[in-house]
Amino acid sequence: MNRIVAVERTRRSISKDLHDDIGTTLSSITLMNAVLKNKIESQPEEAKKMATKIENTSRDMIQNMSDIVWSINPNNDTMEKLIYRLQQFCGDVFDKPEIQYHFTVDEAIKSKILNMQLRRDIYLICKEIINNAAKYSQATNFNLSLSLKQKTIILTAHDNGIGFDENTVSKGNGLMNIRQRVNTYNGEVDLKSDSGTIWHISIPT
């Protein structure tokens, strides 16, 4: 029964993501394309900017769709596969020489088997933290580590950036989503951000 409930929860989550992320993005691309057509001749410079925005939005949608497909593939159920995908993502995001990143993994965690939803949530949590550090922190150094203590996954991340105030920062950066995903498993989030940002997240498995 627990397995059936877990599968149903995952199906609903993926359905929601397809509607919210992919559906909304496709609608936005359609609207931007209509605006682009009207500006091609009268405002060529604005049209170029709009075309770039459409390209970036499409690229993000492709990435989100790739994440969904990856998350439901049973061949990716081990932490080792998750770690490999995170390493690829870090390499893509931290592609500027002024940002150095370090990804540390406890050997004991690599063979850990995760259910579909947990694996996906851990990936999206890490992805959100990595994205925020790359885009907003102005850091020159970022560190991420994953370890396993008994049956609890420990995720720590820190950077030497400018930090932020969680109470005033835009909701668009996904901080609320991180907390909600962790709370689903009765996990804990410890976030400190001042001169740099430090995350300490524990998720029971």
Q: Where are the chain's structural domains?
A: 2-71, 77-204
Structural class in CATH, domain 2-71: mainly alpha
Q: Which two tokens stand for residue 145?
A: 């580590």
Question: Of the candidates 152, 188, 155, 68, which has an alpha carbon nearest to the alpha carbon of residue 116?
Answer: 68
Least confident segment among 1-15, 132-146, 179-193: 1-15
Tell me the fold of 77-204.
Heat Shock Protein 90 (3.30.565)
With beta carbons less than 8 A apart as the criterion, state whether 165 and 193 touch: yes
Residue 116 is encoded by which pair of tokens? 């579909």
First to last CA, the chain: 18
- Longest CA pairwise span in the chain (Å): 64
Q: Are 69 and 85 in contact (CB under 8 A)?
A: no
Same topology, domains 2-71 and 77-204? Answer is no
User: Would you state the pLDDT for residue 32?
Assistant: 85
Each residue of 63-115: pLDDT tens digit?
878 887 887 777 777 788 888 899 888 888 888 788 899 999 988 888 888 88
Give the model confidence (pLDDT) of 117-147 as tens digits. 888 889 999 999 998 898 888 899 999 999 9
Placement of tokens 């059936």 in the chain: 4
- State the DSSP code for 113: B
Mean model confidence pLDDT for the chain: 84
